[in-house]
Amino acid sequence: MTATAPETGTTGPGPQPPGRRERKKQRTRDALVDAAFTLFSEKGFDATTVEEIADAVDVSSRTFFRYFASKEDVALTFQEEQTRAVLAALSERPADEPVMTALRRAVVGIARACEAGELGFDPERFQCMLSMMNDSPTLMAGSLEHAQKKQALLIEFISERLGVDPADDLRPHVIAVATTCGFQAATDAMRRHGGAFGSLSETVDKTFAILENGLGRER
C-alpha cells in the first residue's frame, strides 16, 4: 500500500473532476448496496438488520442512515436509477410521436437495457427484489411509494407534451397512472407467475398494447 506520491502534482489522468473524498464515498455507498443485497438474498429483507449491513462494510449503523434514508431505500436504489433512466429516455423521444407511443418505447427500451445488464442494472438483483417483495409488505410499500413519486414527474411531462393544464384535464393523470400501472402489471405478473409471459420487456410491451387499445372491448 502507500502509493504516497501519485495523484498529487499535475499528474493523474484526472478525468475525474470529483476528488478522492467523492470516490471514497461512492465506494462506501456501493459496498453498502452490495452487502445489503447479499444479506437480503441470504436471509430475506425483514430478517436482515441495518446493523448487520453496516457491520459487513465495517461502518456504524449511524453512517448507514447518512447514505440511505431507510432500509427500504437501499433495496430500491435500483428503482430510482431506473426512473432516472426512463425520464432521460423520454426526453429523447421525437416530439411528434403520440404520447402513449413515446411512453411505451421509452419504458420498453429501459426494460430491455435492464435485461441486458446495462447501466449497472443487475438482472439477478432485480429478480431478488421481486421475490423479496413477495414476502415483505414493508418493501412492497416502499416500492409503491417510489412509484408514486415517479408518477408526479410523469404527470408533469405528459401535461407539457399534450400542452394541457393538469388542473383542468384529467387525461395526463390517467395516462401517467396507466404508465406506472402498466409497468406494475408487468412486474406483478412476473412476480406471481414467473416468466410465463416472456421477458419483462415483452410483458411490458404487451401490457401497453392492451391499454392503448382500450379495455372496453373485453367480453
Partner DNA sequence: ACAAAAGTGTCATGGCGTGACACTTGTCGT
Partner DNA sequence: ACGACAAGTGTCACGCCATGACACTTTTGT
Which residues make up the interface to DNA (CB under 7 A)? 19-22, 24-25, 28, 48-51, 58-63, 65-67, 69-72
Which does residue 71 bind out of a second copy, DNA, none, counting CB within 5 to 8 angstroms by kind? DNA
Separation between Cα atoms, residue 99 and residue 208, nearest integer Å: 12
With CB under 8 A as the contact rule, which of the stretches 17-25, 56-64, 116-124, 202-210 interacts with a second copy? Answer: 202-210
- Give whichever of 122 and 191 is closer to a second copy, judged by the CB atom: 191
Shortest separation between residue 51's beta carbon and DNA, angstroms: 6
- DSSP class per residue in 20-50: HHHHHHHHHHHHHHHHHHHHHHHH-TTTS-H
Sole binder of a second copy in the list 43, 61, 193, 195 (CB under 8 A): 193
- Cα separations (Å) of 42 from 64, 131, 132, 152? 20, 12, 11, 35
Which does residue 113 bind out of DNA, a second copy, none, counting CB within 5 to 8 angstroms by kind? none
Which does residue 42 bind out of DNA, a second copy, none, counting CB within 5 to 8 angstroms by kind? none
Nearest alpha carbon to residue 38 among 123, 121, 117, 125: 125
Residues 136-175 that bind a second copy (CB under 8 A): 137, 140-142, 144-145, 147-148, 151, 161-162, 166-168, 170-171, 173-175
Nearest alpha carbon to residue 65 among 78, 50, 76: 50
Indicate the helix (H) or strand (E) that contains 101: helix 99-115
